[in-house]
Amino acid sequence: MEKVAKFFKVSENEFLKEGQGDYSEIKLPSRATTGSAGYDFYSPVKFTLAPNETIKIATGIRVEIKEGWVLQIFPRSGLGFKYRLTLDNTVGIIDSDYFYAENEGHIFIKMLRRCSPHGRKRQCVRARRIYPLRNNGR
């Protein structure tokens, strides 16, 4: 399998600009199994998300991608079914040149917890593991 991307941590200074979490808690994305379709991102902070709330998470991660490739971030299907979690912008797109942005290519994830169709308005979700990362459909 051709390697088209490599994950890194952003600098501690860049991470602390957002004021979230502990730099030492940043974990590089990884595949849960050899058959996983994508990489799982992890939140460096624990959080609780009630129905109809959103949260913006500074992952502390940047990715170097081969030119001509794009990384796409999708919600984990299990979290969507169980907790109605979605990405606020539906699909996250990380371009190959974002690695060189002023913010070091720091990847942020904004999640939305949709209201439960069964009226369970008090149930919240606590998470540290977020979403898989996919590359250009491969």
Output the CA–CA distances (angstroms, integers) from residue 31 to 1, 104, 107, 134, in the order listed.
Answer: 14, 23, 18, 11
Specify whether the CB–CB gap between 75 and 86 falls below 8 A: yes
Whole-prediction pTM value?
A: 0.79
CA gap 54, 19 in Å, rounded = 17
- What is the third-level CATH fold of 5-135? Deoxyuridine 5'-Triphosphate Nucleotidohydrolase; Chain A (2.70.40)
pLDDT tens for 67-83 read 989 988 887 777 777 77
pLDDT tens for 50-65 read 888 898 989 999 999 9
Specify whether the CB–CB gap between 57 and 110 falls below 8 A: yes
Question: Domain spans of the chain?
Answer: 5-135
Taking every pair of Cα atoms in the chain, the longest distance, rounded to a whole number of angstroms, is 46
CA gap 14, 88 in Å, rounded = 23
CA gap 79, 86 in Å, rounded = 8
Confidence band, pLDDT 50/70/90 cuts, at residue 6: very high
Specify whether the CB–CB gap between 86 and 80 falls below 8 A: yes
Specify whether the CB–CB gap between 27 and 124 falls below 8 A: no
